[in-house]
């Protein structure tokens, strides 16, 4: 495209130079230049003017065509830049979506592990309180405390089950985390299993 533009520009200037050379070298009166020669040249002025106008008009058309070709080439480059920018944007959007999924996944896994640890600690506390119950004098407050802890365990279990319904977890992870609260194992053990 650019080569064709430069060819048009060179042709236009060759035409202009050739026209002027033809007019002034071949159409000018030959020596000796006297009054009659100038009068003859003046009579031929319209002829020269017409030829020069035609040549410059054609050269102008070639220059205009070269300008259009340059502009077309620029527009093509701009279109390629826009397409490249669009591809980069799509790639960045895909990467961002992937990173968002990873961050969401890590957040849910850490929440599940945290809830499991908290629930297991509550169960251990309930076991300790149940062991101490026969020796306690104020059994009513002790039983009330155990009931309160059991409600917290139920709330933990509910939160745990809800988090397991997340679409970012794989089926194997759901199976792995499903019995975490019921098993009484610490969530850190499961985290190590996941890393392996």
CA distances from 119 to 32, 93, 150 (A): 120, 38, 10
For residues 19 and 59, membership in a common domain is answered with: yes
Q: What is the pLDDT of residue 33?
A: 67
For residues 27 and 65, membership in a common domain is answered with: yes
> Is residue 108 domain-resident?
yes
C-alpha angle 101/107/112, rounded to 5°? 125
Rounded distance, CA 59 to CA 14, Å?
9
Q: What is the pLDDT of residue 186?
A: 47
Last residue of a domain, which of 90, 111, 130? 90
CA distances from 66 to 15, 16, 24, 44 (A): 15, 15, 28, 33
> Is residue 95 domain-resident?
no
**Tens-digit pLDDT profile for the chain (196 aa)?**
578 778 888 888 888 888 777 777 666 656 566 677 667 666 666 667 777 788 888 888 888 888 888 888 888 889 999 999 999 999 999 999 999 888 888 888 888 888 888 888 888 888 888 888 777 777 788 788 888 888 888 888 888 778 877 777 777 777 777 766 556 554 444 444 444 4
CA distances from 47 to 18, 28, 29, 116 (A): 16, 12, 14, 103
Domain that holds residue 65: 2-90
For residues 6 and 84, membership in a common domain is answered with: yes
> Is residue 190 domain-resident?
yes
For residues 85 and 109, membership in a common domain is answered with: no
Q: What is the pLDDT of residue 81?
A: 92
For residues 82 and 114, membership in a common domain is answered with: no
Rounded distance, CA 101 to CA 99, Å?
5
Rounded distance, CA 35 to CA 148, Å?
128
Total-model pTM: 0.52
Rounded distance, CA 182 to CA 157, Å?
8
For residues 20 and 82, membership in a common domain is answered with: yes
Q: Which two tokens stand for residue 131?
A: 């062991």
CA 183 distance to own-chain centroid: 45
Helix (H, G, I), strand (E, B) or coil at 62: helix
**Taking a C-beta distance cutoff of 8 angstroms, is the pair 51, 19 a contact?**
yes
Last residue of a domain, which of 22, 55, 90? 90
> Is residue 96 domain-resident?
no
Helix (H, G, I), strand (E, B) or coil at 180: helix
Last residue of a domain, which of 34, 63, 90? 90
Q: What is the pLDDT of residue 32?
A: 64
Beta-carbon contacts of residue 118 (< 8 Å; ≥ 6 apart): 156
């Amino acid at each position: 495209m650019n080569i064709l533009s430069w060819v048009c520009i060179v042709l236009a200037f060759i035409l202009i130079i050739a026209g002027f050379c033809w007019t002034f070298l071949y159409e000018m009166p030959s020596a000796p230049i006297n009054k009659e020669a100038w009068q003859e040249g003046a009579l031929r002025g319209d002829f020269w003017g017409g030829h020069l106008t035609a040549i410059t008009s054609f050269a102008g058309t070639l220059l205009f065509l070269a300008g259009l070709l340059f502009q077309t080439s620029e527009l093509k480059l701009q279109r390629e830049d826009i397409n490249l920018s669009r591809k980069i944007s799509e790639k960045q959007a895909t990467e961002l979506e992937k990173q968002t999924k990873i961050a969401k996944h890590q957040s849910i896994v850490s929440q599940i592990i945290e809830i499991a640890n908290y629930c297991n600690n509550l169960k251990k506390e309930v076991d300790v309180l149940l062991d101490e119950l026969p020796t306690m004098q104020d059994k009513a407050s002790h039983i009330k405390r155990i009931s309160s802890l059991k409600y917290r365990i139920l709330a933990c279990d509910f939160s745990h089950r809800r988090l397991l319904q997340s679409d970012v977890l794989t089926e194997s992870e759901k199976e792995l985390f499903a019995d975490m609260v019921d098993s009484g194992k610490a969530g850190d053990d499961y985290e190590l299993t996941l890393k392996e």
